[in-house]
Chain A
Amino acid sequence: MSIASRRLQNALRGFARGGAQTWSPELTSRQRGDSDALQEAIDALRGTGKGRYYNADMFAQEYDGAVLPEADDPVWVEMRGGDPVAAVSSGVLTIADDAAAEFLYYGAEPELDNDAGTWLEARVKVADATGLAANRGSALAIHDGTYQFTVWLRSDGFNIDAESDVSLDFTEWRRVRFVAQGKGCQLFVDGSLRQAGSYVNESAKQLVTFGSWADAYQQYQHRPGGSLSIEGGITVTGP
């Protein structure tokens, strides 16, 4: 087991002892590793520090907040402990787990390739969080079949696992782009490169996750951009 892995496990144990935590994310997507477009995007990110090639069609799986993730198509597998509460309303997924031993997060198992890289994107607002320190908070994680990468999000900051805390007000909506390739990863917030880091552990899984590990209240909302979203509805009456 690597040092980074032990650190993650220590952090998870810390959550189980924590108190109430609140946060709210938005769009969660991930990009498969076999696309030339992805390679171009990651190359551009590394070269410029900005994601110039955002293209929703490149994402292999998205969550749009229309239904609970476990009811989405393709499905996001629910992983929970205790009795956390999840609900969707107006395109927003809200997760509340306010007991010490609870957690609730969602995972998808797309085809990932460490050489090509993986791109995980979420729009996140963290209203409150327990344990405001590095390597704590709610998490986005990538397992690309070779390594695991994790970023921690808190109401007052964030960090790539094992990196130092970066102060940032996450009580406002933030667009988080987590890109991993090889042994390295980069975190962009609202289009700016904010931190670079390394893998947590070796991992044969091909998995991306979002959600809380313990003591969290969170929301996910699909909103491609701006502060105006469009919704629609239908009433059908008949045989």
Chain B
Amino acid sequence: MAFIMHDEGEEFVLQVAFSEEQSVPANFYVGLCNDTLVKADGLADIVDEVSGTGYARQTVASDNTDCVVTADGDYYKVTFAKQTFTAGGTWTEANTAFLATTVDNAGKLIASYPIAPVRTLGNADTVDVEVYVRHKHEA
């Protein structure tokens, strides 16, 4: 598996930036799942989101504190604030982190990221997840 910028994520970003068919949500959300996603997948295609006591998609405010845009060599990238997941019991396995526009499945799946090795959190375990998206321009 590799990083995927999903179709609806690409569309969302362009529609926010250029056509204004979408608006910037108040928050983005980072979640964990155990799905093998493909580029065409949307939020509804996540069928094995992590479950267990204390699990919830983590909130990333859509501001320049939680979404930091920086130049990275020849690139520009946005780095989303690190999120800490803390298990209150044994959680189901996670092989993927994902970035979404909503806390439920009504929104857009922007991107997904493989987690290796897969994580299965036990009670009181924590895992920190920090994701970014980077544009690369080549002349």
- In the assembled complex, A232 has its CB within 8 A of some CB on chain B: yes
**Known contacts A66-B2, A230-B5; A236 and B133 CB within 8 A of each other:** no
Residue from A67, A228, A233, A237 in contact with B132 in the complex, judged by beta carbons closer than 8 Å: A233
Q: A232, B135: Cβ atoms under 8 Å?
A: no
Cβ B134 vs Cβ A239 within 8 A: no
User: B121 to A229, Cβ gap below 8 A?
Assistant: no
- B2 and A67 within 8 A (CB): yes
* Chain B residues, Cβ within 8 Å of A90: 136
Q: Do A239 and B10 touch across chains, with their CB atoms under 8 A apart?
A: no
Choose, from B16-24, B56-64, B109-117, the stretch at the interface.
Answer: B109-117
- In the complex with contacts A57-B40, A238-B127, A239-B125, A232-B115 CB distance below 8 A: no
| Chain B interface residue count, Cβ-Cβ cutoff 8 angstroms | 33
Task: Let me know if A64 is at the binding interface, CB within 8 A.
Answer: yes
Cβ of B11: which chain A residues have Cβ within 8 Å of it? Answer: none
| A: contact size bracket | 20 to 34
* Cα distance A235–B128 in the bound complex, in angstroms: 8
B131 and A230 form a contact (CB under 8 A): no
Q: Is the CB of B131 within 8 A of A233?
A: yes
Across-interface contacts of A57 in B (CB, < 8 A): 40
* CB neighbours of A230 from chain B (8 A): 5, 10, 133-136
B62-103: contact bitstring with A at CB < 8 Å (1 yes, 0 no)?
000000000000010000001001000000000001000000
Report yes or no: A233 in contact with B134, Cβ–Cβ below 8 A: yes
Query: Nearest residue in A to B10 (C-beta to C-beta)?
Result: A230
CB of B110 to closest CB in A, whole Å = 10
Q: A238-B119, A238-B121, A239-B121 are in contact. Are A232 and B137 (CB under 8 A)?
A: no
How far is B4's CA from A229's CA once the two chains are assembled, in angstroms? 12
Does B46 interact with chain A (Cβ within 8 Å)? no
Q: Is B47 an interface residue (CB 8 A)?
A: no
B104 at the interface (CB under 8 A from A): no
By beta carbon, the residue of chain B nearest A237 is B128
- Would you give the shortest CB distance from A28 to chain B, in whole angstroms? 15
Distance (Å) between the CB of B96 and the closest chain A CB? 9
- Measured CB to CB, the closest approach of chain A to B27, in angstroms, equals 19
- Chain B residues whose CB sits within 8 angstroms of the CB of A228 once the complex forms: 135-138
Q: Which residues of A contact B136 (CB under 8 A)?
A: 90-91, 228-231
Q: Please tell me if B55 contacts chain A, counting CB pairs below 8 Å.
A: no
Residues of chain B with a CB closer than 8 A to A1's CB:
none
The answer to whether the Cβ of A3 comes within 8 Å of any Cβ in the partner chain is: no
Does A227 sit within 8 A of B, measured CB to CB? Answer: yes
- 26 A-B pairs with CB atoms under 8 Å apart are A64-B2, A66-B2, A91-B136, A227-B137, A228-B135, A230-B10, A230-B133, A231-B75, A231-B133, A232-B113, A232-B132, A232-B133, A233-B131, A234-B113, A234-B129, A234-B130, A235-B82, A235-B128, A235-B129, A236-B115, A236-B119, A236-B127, A236-B129, A238-B121, A239-B119, A239-B127
Binding site for B on A (CB under 8 A): 56-57, 64, 66-67, 90-91, 173, 227-239
Q: Which residues of B contact A (CB under 8 A)?
A: 2-5, 10, 39-40, 75, 82, 85, 97, 111, 113-115, 119, 121-122, 125-139
Question: What are the 3 tightest A-B residue pairs by CB atom distance, in nearest-first order?
Answer: A238-B127, A232-B3, A66-B2
